[in-house]
Structure 1
Amino acid sequence: MAATSNISVLLKYFATKQNSPFVIYKDFADYVKRYAQHNVEELPELVTYLGNPESAIDKELIPLVESRQVALLESDPAKKQIFVTGFLNAKYADRYKEIQSNAAVPFPTVSDLPKLTPLEILNKQDSQDIIFKLMTKQDKNDKQLYSIIIPNNVPPVIFPGNIPVAILIDSVMSKIRRMLKKDEYHDYYLKKLRIANPGKEMTSKNFFTDFVGKPDVAMRSLESAGDSFYFWNQLCYFIKQDYEKVKDFTQEDINVLQSVYIAEIIISFYKNKAQSNLQRETAIKTLQNCLTKPPYYFTMDTILKFTDTKGIPLYGQYTEKDLKDFLQKETTESENQNLPKLLVFKIENGTRYFVYKNNVIPLIVRLASDAHTAIDEKITKEWFKKLQNFEKSPDMYDEGAFNKKLEEECAVLAPALHALLTANFLPILNMEMQESSTIGAQGSIFEGNEMMSYAGILQLNRNTILENAKILLPVWYTIPVVSWIIALFTKKSTRKNKKKAKKASKPVVTQHTNSEETNEEEMHSTHKPVSKKDALIQAAKEVEAEFVPNGSTIEKELTDYRKQWNKMISKQANSDLTEDVNALIRDYVRKVLRTLPAKGFNAERITELAETLCNTPNMKKITEQTAILEYTKLYMVYLVKNM
C-alpha cells in the first residue's frame, strides 16, 4: 500500500489485514502511531499521530461516523471498537461476482451480516430512491452499504456501493430468467402472458422468448418506449402473485421474490426515463415547429415562453441544456458548406433574433410591409413641413439620396428589417436560393446578385410621396404670384430668426446686482408656464416608452394587435370595425381628459381606463379580449401623444 494519511484508508487496510470489520480502537491507535513514525518523512502531515494519536483519530472519525463509513462500539470502554463498513463492501462485492457466475447464489441479506454488526451503518432509504439514484448517476465507492427493503417481510437485499448498479440489474434478471427456464414455469407463464394479451399473442411470445433466451435483446427493450414495459409489468405481476401465495419459502423462492420486486423498480425507472425522453423529443419538435411560424423571428425570451397545444410551457419539458444543445446544433450544423438551418441576427440595441433561413425572405417581405406605412407617413410629414417653409432637400429629387433617407428611417422605425437587410448571410442565402431554384416559390429581394433598392423593398415611390406632401399644402401655395410673395416674407422671417438665434447663443456679459431675489424674479419671468396640453403630450411619450418594446414603434404595435382582434375577412367590414372601435376610444378619451390632470396620465391609470372601457357591452363582443385591451391602452397613448 502506498503511503497515505487518510484514516479511512488505513482503517480498511487494518481491517482487511485482521480479516474482520471489528477493529479494536487501542490496537488501531498503536498501528497508526507506528505507521506515522515510519512514514513521517515522506508525509509530514502524519506528525499529528506521533505523540498521542487518540485525539487526532477521534477528530478524523467524526465525519466517518456521520457518513456511515464506520461505527463506534463502546459497550466496553476498555475494549472500544471501530466497525469498518468498507470491509463488508469488499466482501459483498465478491458475492455479486459469484451471482453473475451462478444465479443460484443468494443475495446477501441482513442475516448475513456478522454478529453484533451495528445496523446504523446501512443506508436504509426508500428502495426506489436508492435504485433511481444509483441508476441516474452512481459515484462508485465503498462508503455506502445499501439496504434494499422488500415488502411482505421478504428479507432486504444488501448492495455495496463500490460495484456498478448494472451488476445488480444483471443479477436480478438472471435469477428471474433462471426460474423461467424450468419447464414447469416456462410454459405456464408464457401461457398466462398470451392469454392476458388477446390479439398480441405473437408479440407477447416474442417478448417472453427474448427475455429467456436473449438477455441483451431483452435489456435493450427496456431502454426504448413501446409495449415492452406493459409486458414487463405483467410478467412481474404474475410471478409475484403466485409466489406470494407460498407459505413456506425456500431460499430460491426468496431469491425470486427479491428479484421481482427490484425488477419492478428497475422497469419503473426505465419507463419514466423513456417517457421523459419522449416528452423532451416531442417538446423539441414543437419548439422547432413554433420557430417556423409567424412572426418568424424570435428572441431567447420569446423562445422560453413557447407553449404546447395545451398551453403548457415547453421550457420545463426540456432542460436549459437541451435548449442550448438544440440551438447550437441548428445554428452551426450545415450540409455541403451551406448556411445552417437557423440563422441569428442582431439589432443595434444588442437584441439577438433567431430565424430559419427558409423564412428570411418571407420575413423581410412581412417587415417591409409593416414598415411601409410608418416610413411613408414620416417622410410625407417631414417633406410637407419643408415645402411649407419653401425648403428643398436632395432626397426629394434625387433617387440615390432618397434611398439613403429610406435606409436611415428603416434603421430607426424598423430595426429588425434593417438588421436583416445588412446581415452578412443575406448574399450567401441568395446564392443558395438561386442554386436550389427556390426563388420563384417565395419571391426575392435580389435582382441577380444585387439587392433591390430600399425603395423597391419598401414599395415606396419618391414622386408619389412628394405629390402627397404637396397635396397637404394650402391652395394658395399653388398660385405662382401668391406663393412667391409668401416665400419672400417667409424666407426673410426665417433669416431674422436665425440671426436672433445666433445672437442668443453668444455669451452676454451683464453686471450682477447684490439682490438674489431680483435675479430669481427675472429668471421666473423668462419661463412660460407649461400648458396642460404640452404636459399631457410629454406624459404620453413617457408612457409610450413603458408600453412599446425596444426596437418597435407604437404604430407597429397597434397594427399587430389590430390584426389579432379584428379578424373580419371583408376589407370594408374590417375597416368599419376598426373605425367603430377607434371612435369609441376617442370619445372616451375626450371625456376623461376634461378632468384628468397631466400627472394622472400614467401607465397604471391608462390600464385602469382601458379595462373599464373594455368591460362595456360593445367592447365585450370582441372575443380576443387580451389583444383589444392592449390595443386600447396603446391607442389612448397614441391619441394624446398626437393631440
Structure 2
Amino acid sequence: MAATSNIAVLLKYFASKQNSAFVVYKDFADYIKRYAQHNVEEVPDLVSYLGNPESAIDKELIPLIKSKQVALIDQDPSKKQIFVTGFFNSKFADRYKEIQSNPAVPFPTITDLPKQAPLEVLNKQNSQDIVFNLMKKQDKNDRQLYAIIIPNNVPAVIFPGNIPISILVDSVMGKIRRMLKKEEYHDYYLKKLRIANPGKEMTSKNFFTDFVNKPDVAMRSLESAGDSFYFWNQLCYFIKQDYEKVKDFTQEDINVLQSVYIAEIVISFFKNEAQQNLQRESALKTLQNLLQKPPYYFTMDTILKFTDSKGIPLYGQYTEKDLKEFLQKETTESSNQELPQLLVFKVDNGTRYFVYKNNVIPLIVRLASDAHTAIDEKLTKEWFRLLQNFEKRPEMHDEGAFNNKLKAECAVEAPPLYALLNANFLPILNMEMQETSTVGAQGSIFEGNEMMSYAGILQLNRNTILENAKILLPVWYTIPIISWIIALFTKKSNKKKKVNKQKTNVVVKETEEQSENEVSASKPVTKKDALKHAAQAVEAEFVPSGSTLENELSSYRKQWNKMITKEANNNLTEDVNALIRDYLRKVLRTLPAKGFTADRVSELAEQLCNTPNMKKITEHDALLNYTQLYMVFLVKNI
C-alpha cells in the first residue's frame, strides 16, 4: 500500500490485516504512530500523529462516523473499539461473486453480521427507493453498506456499495431462473402463464423459455418496451403468490422471495425508463415537426415554450440535456459534405434563430413580402418630405445608391431578413439547391451564383417610389417657374428652421414627459388600461424579434386566405375578423386583465378555430396563429 494520511484507508488496511472489522482503538493508535514515524518524510500530513495520536484520530473519526464508515463501540478507553464498515464491504462483495457462479448461495443478511456489530452503520432503505436510486445513478465506493428492506417480514438483503447494482440484478434473476429450471416448477409456472394469456400462448411460452434458457435475451427484453413487461409482472406475481402461502420457509424459499420482490422493482424501473424514452422520442419528434411550421424561424425562448397537441409543454417531456443534444445533432450532422438540416443565424442584437434549410428560401420570400410594404411606405414618406423642401438624394436617381439604401432600411425594418441575406451559409445552400434541382420548386433569390439585388428581393422599384412621392406634392410643385421661386425661399428658411427646431425639441420633450407623469400619477388604472398593458406583454411573446404585429397578421392572412379576387379576399377576412371580435367581446366581459396571458389567448384561439365555421378554412395552423395575433391586436387597440 502506498503511503497515505487518509485514516479511512488506514483503518480498512489495519482491519484486513487483523481479519476483523473490530479494531481495538489503543492498538490502532499505536500502529498509526509507528506508521507516521516511518512515512512522515514522504507524507508530511502524518506529523499530527507523531506525538499523542489519540486527539488527531478522534478528530478524523467524527466525519467517518457521520457517513457511517465507522462506529465506536464502548467508550471505556481500555475497551474502546472501532467498527470498520469497509471490512464487510469487501467480504460481502466476495459473497456476490459466489452467488453469480452458484445461485444456490444465499444473499447476505443482517444475521451474517457479528452480534456485537452496530447496526447503525447500515444504510437502511426500503427496496423501492434503494434499487431505483442505485439503478439511476450509482457512485461505487466502500463507504456504504446498504440494507435493502423487503416487505412482509422477509429478511433484508445486505448489498455493499463497492459493486455495481447490475450484479444484484443478475443474482436476483439467477436465483429465480434456478428455481424455474426444476421440473416441478418449470411446467407449473409455464402453464399458469399460458392460461393467463389466451391468444398469446406462443408469445408467453417464448418469453418463459428465453428467460430460463437465454439470460442475455431475457435481460435485453427489459430494456425495450413491449409485452415482455406484462409477462414479467405476471410471472413474479404467480411466484410471490405461491411462496407467500408457505408457512415454514427454507433458505431457498427465502432466497426466491427476496429475489422476486427485488425483481419486481427492477422490472418497474425498466418499464418507467422505456415509457420515458418513448415520451422523450415522441416529444422530440413533435419538436422537429413544429420547427418545420410557420413562422419557420425560432429563438431558444420560443422553442422552450412549444407544447404538444394537448397543450402540455414539450420541455419537461425531454430534459435540457436532451434538447441540447437534439439541436447539436441537427445543426452539425450532415451527409456528403452538405449543410446540416438545421441552420442558425444571428441578428445584430445577438438573438439566435433556428431554421431548417428547406425553409430558408420560403422564409426569405415571406419576410421580404412583409418588409416590402413597410419599407415602401417609409421611403415614400421620406422622399415626399425631401421633395417638399426641394432636396434630392443619390438613391432617387442612382440604382446602386438605391440598393444601398434598401440594404440599410432592411437592417432596421427587418433584422431577421437582413441577417439571412448576409448569412455565410446562403451561397452554399444555393449550390446545393442547384445540384438537387429544387430551385424551381421553392423559387430563388439567386440569379445563377449571384444573389439578386435588394430591390429585386423586396420587389421595390425606385422610379415607382419616386413617382408615388411626387403624386403627394401640391400641384404648383409641377410648374417650373413657381416651383423655382418657392424653392429659393424654402432653402433659406430651412436653415433657420433647423436651428430653431433643435432648440425647441429639448423644451417640448421635457414638457411632454412632465405632462405624462402628472397624468399617470393622477389617473387610476382602469381595466381597459390593464388589458392594453397585458396585450403588450402577450405581443412580445407571440411576435418574433425584428418583426411587428401588423406584419405577422398580414403574413398569416396571406397563408389562410387563398381567395383570388380582391373582393372575395376582403369579404373572407372581414367575416373571420367579425367572428373573432364577437367571440372576444363576450370573453372580455368576464375575463380579468391579469387573465389575459399568452396561454389563455392560445386556448381561446384554439376553441374558436375548432368551431364549424372556422374549420372550413383548410390552413388551420396559419388561421390559429392569425386568430391569436388578431385578439392581441384588438385588445391592444381597445
1:632 and 2:634 correspond? yes
Structure 2: segments with no counterpart, 5+ residues:
521-528, 583-592, 615-623
Matched residue SS, 2:307: coil
Distance in 1 between the 2:470 and 2:545 partners? 33
- Structure-1 residue corresponding to 2:51: 51
Correspondences of 1:99-178 after superposition (within 5 Å): 99-178=99-178
How many Å apart are 1:232 and its aligned residue? 0.9
Q: Deviations over 1:461-511 (max 9, x none)?
A: 223323322332334444x3xx53144123323224326757999xxxxxx
Contact 1:122 1:146 in 2 (8 A): yes
**How far apart in 2 are the matches of 1:63 and 1:528?**
72
SS across alignment from 1:345: strand
**Structure 1 residues 626 and 293: CA distance shift in structure 2, 3 A:** closer
Maintained 8 Å contact 1:566/1:577: no
User: Partners of 1:329 and 1:106 in 2: how far apart?
Assistant: 48
Distance 1:530 1:47, change over 3 A: closer
Counterpart among 474, 481, 484 of residue 484 in structure 1: 481
Q: Residues of 2 paired with 1:436 and 1:180: CA distance? A: 60
Which residue is equivalent to 1:373? 373
Q: Is contact 2:346-2:419 (8 Å) kept?
A: yes
What is the CA–CA distance in structure 1 between the aligned matches of 2:69 and 2:325, rounded to whole Å?
A: 40
1:348 is matched with which residue?
348
| Cα distance in 2 for residues equivalent to 1:94 and 1:61 | 27
In the alignment, the residues of structure 1 paired with residue 108 and residue 501 of structure 2 have an alpha-carbon distance, to the nearest angstrom, of: 100
- Cα deviation 1:23-49 (Å, max 9, x = unaligned): 111122122222222222322222211
Match of 1:286 in 2: 286
CA shift, 1:564, in A, is 10
Does the Cα contact within 8 Å between 1:299 and 1:352 map onto a contact in 2?
A: yes
Q: Secondary structure at the match of 2:259?
A: helix
1:326 aligned partner:
326
Is the CA contact (8 Å cut-off) linking 2:476 and 2:482 kept in structure 1? no
Q: Which residues in structure 2 correspond to 1:287-326 (within 5 Å)?
A: 287-326=287-326
Distance 1:184 1:139 in 2: 41
**How far, CA to CA, are the matches of 1:59 and 1:404 in structure 2?**
77
Tell me how far apart the structure 2 counterparts of residues 310 and 567 of structure 1 sit (CA, whole Å).
29
Could you tell me how far apart the structure 2 residues matched to 1:69 and 1:531 are? 75
Q: CA deviation at 1:561?
A: 8.1
Kindly provide the amino acid, as one letter, of the partner of residue 572 in structure 1: N
Shift of residue 207, structure 1, vs aligned partner:
0.9
Please state how far the C-alpha of 1:573 moved relative to its aligned partner.
1.5
Q: CA deviation at 1:439?
A: 1.1
How far off its partner does 1:289 sit?
1.0
Deviation at 1:103, TM superposition (A): 0.6
Shift of 1:119: 0.8
Q: Is this contact kept in 2: 1:371–1:458, CA < 8 A?
A: yes
With over 3 angstroms needed to count, the CA separation of the structure-2 counterparts of 1:85 and 1:51, relative to structure 1, is same
CA contact (8 A) 1:145 1:160 kept: yes
Shift of 1:528: 6.7
**Equivalent in the alignment of 1:516:** none
The answer to whether the 8 A contact 1:68-1:85 is kept is: yes
Residue 499 of structure 2 corresponds to residue 497 of structure 1: no
Which of 571, 574, 592 aligns to 1:573? It is: 571
Return closer, same or farther for 1:244/1:267 CA change in 2, 3 Å cut-off: same
Structure 1 stretch 559-568 or stretch 50-59: which is displaced more?
Answer: 559-568
2:546 paired residue number: 551
Q: How far does the alpha carbon of each residue in 1:352-405 deviate from its partner, in whole angstroms, 9 at most, with x for none?
A: 111110000010111111111111111111222223333333323333332222
2:618 maps to which residue? Answer: none
SS at match of 1:83: strand
After TM superposition, the structure 1 stretch with the greater mean CA deviation from structure 2, 363-372 or 454-463, is 454-463
- Change in 2 beyond 3 A, CA 1:116/1:169: same
CA distance in 1 between partners of 2:225 and 2:324 (Å): 25
Q: Which of 1 and 2 has greater Rg?
A: 1
Q: Does 1:338 align with 2:320?
A: no
The amino acid across from 1:551 in the alignment is G
* 1:180 is aligned to 2:180: yes
Is 1:562–1:628's contact at 8 Å kept on the other side of the alignment?
Answer: no
String of CA shifts for 1:238-283, please: whole Å, max 9, x gaps: 1101111111111111110000001111111111111112111111
Q: Residues 520-545 of structure 1: CA distance to partner in whole angstroms, max 9, x if unpaired?
A: xxx99x95798879978x999xx999
Give % identity: 74
Quickly say closer, same or farther: Cα 1:527–1:370, change in 2 above 3 A. Answer: closer
Post-superposition shift, 1:326?
Answer: 1.3
Alignment check: 8 A CA contact 2:553 2:630 kept: no
Distance in 2 (CA, whole Å) between partners of 1:559 and 1:535 is 36
Separation in structure 2 between the aligned mates of residue 36 and residue 533 of structure 1, nearest angstrom: 79
SS in 1 for 2:355: strand
Q: Are residues 220 and 340 of structure 1, via their aligned partners in 2, closer, same or farther at CA, if it must alter by over 3 Å?
A: same
Change (3 A) 1:393 1:256: same
- 2:586 aligns with none
Instruction: Tell me the CA shift for residue 421 of structure 1.
Output: 1.1
Residues 147 and 532 from structure 1, CA distance in 2 versus in 1: closer, same or farther, beyond 3 angstroms? Answer: closer
**Distance in 2 of aligned mates of 1:358 and 1:137:** 41
Q: Which residue of 2 aligns with 1:208?
A: 208
Once the two structures are superposed, residues 599-636 of structure 1 have per-residue CA deviations (whole angstroms, 9 ceiling, x without a partner) of: xxxxx99x99xx9xxx9xxx999997753442035546
The aligned counterpart of 2:525 is none
Deviations 1:429-485 (A, max 9, x none): 11100100111211111121121222221122223323322332334444x3xx531
- Name the structure 1 match of 2:194: 194
The SS at the match of 1:348 is coil
| Equivalent residue, structure 1, for 2:261 | 261
Question: What CA distance in whole angstroms lies between the structure 2 residues aligned with 1:383 and 1:500?
Answer: 19
Q: Distance in 1 between matches of 2:100 and 2:577?
A: 81
What's the secondary structure of 1:78's corresponding residue? coil
Structure 1 position 133, deviation (Å) = 1.9
TM-score (norm 1): 0.83
Aligned equivalents of 1:248, 1:582: Cα separation in 2: 75
Q: Is the 8 A contact 1:558 1:631 kept in 2?
A: no
Residue 73 in structure 1 maps to residue 73 in structure 2 = yes
Are the equivalent residues in 2 in contact too, given 1:389–1:487 (CA < 8 A)? no
Moved more, 13-22 or 241-250: 13-22
Supply the AA of the counterpart residue of 1:148.
Answer: I
Please tell me whether the aligned partners of residues 561 and 573 of structure 2 are also in contact (alpha carbons under 8 angstroms): no
Structure 1 alignment gaps of length 5 or more: 506-522, 585-603, 637-643
Contact 1:361 1:445 in 2 (8 A): yes
SS at match of 2:125: coil
**Where does residue 639 of structure 1 map in the other structure?**
none
For 1:346-425, list aligned pairs within 5 A. 346-425=346-425
SS of equivalent to 1:420? helix
Give the counterpart letter for 2:300 in structure 1: M
2-structure distance, mates of 1:409, 1:187:
83
Change (3 A) 1:386 1:563: same
Cα distance in structure 1, aligned partners of 2:181 and 2:71: 43
Cα gap change, 1:626/1:437 in structure 2, threshold over 3 Å: closer, same or farther?
closer
**Does the 8 Å contact 2:562/2:569 carry over to 1?**
no
1:409-558 to 2 correspondence within 5 Å?
409-478=409-478, 480=479, 484-498=481-495, 550-553=545-548, 555-557=550-552
Report the CA distance between 1:554 and its aligned residue: 5.4
With normalisation by structure 2, the TM-score equals 0.84
Alpha-carbon distance between aligned partners in 2 of 1:326 and 1:583, rounded to the nearest angstrom: 41
CA contact (8 A) 1:390 1:487 kept: no
Shift of 1:77: 4.7
Cross-structure match for 1:508: none
